[in-house]
Amino acid sequence: MIYDRFENASLYYGISPSIKKALEFLQNTDLAALPEGRVEIDGDTVYANVSKGKSKPHSQAKMEAHRKYIDIQYNITAKEDILFKFIQMAKGILEEQPEKDLYFYDATGWPITVGTNRFAILFPTDLHAPGLTHQDLPENQCEYKKVVVKIKV
């Protein structure tokens, strides 16, 4: 996992051309103006999913991972917690949805916060539970708009 601020994004451009393309998209696009749904960046190699939702308590976290895609998670309108853990630390797999590249694991994680200029790059080795209320405080529960950029491994 990489967790950083957008002013440091160029430090990660050298990892791959696709990661560079994804980070430049996040930095150079009016994210608030994007419609919900899929946004094409580079076909199936790099694309964004824009969604709206309501943050959930940490107790409702479901740890997930992907095998075919890297995620770059960013909350456009609010602070969002994501629980993170290395896949090797999971107790086991709970559910597989390979057609969606979605795998759920028996694990708990450590919180990080995305939004307000902070992003997370999550690799296939990284479990994550997105969409959680910042600091798990009821007064921080909110409606949000977020973008997840998908990068083919």
pLDDT digits over 64-118, tens only?
Answer: 999 999 999 999 999 999 999 999 999 999 999 999 999 999 999 999 999 999 9
CA separation for the pair 144, 131 (Å, rounded): 9
pLDDT for the residue numbered 40: 97
Query: Are the C-beta atoms of residues 64 and 102 closer than 8 Å to each other?
Result: yes
Please name the amino acid found at residue 47. Answer: Y
Domain architecture of the chain: domains with CATH: 2-152 (2.60.120.370)
Across the chain, mean pLDDT equals 98
Q: What is the DSSP letter of 106?
A: E
pTM: 0.96
pLDDT for the residue numbered 124: 98
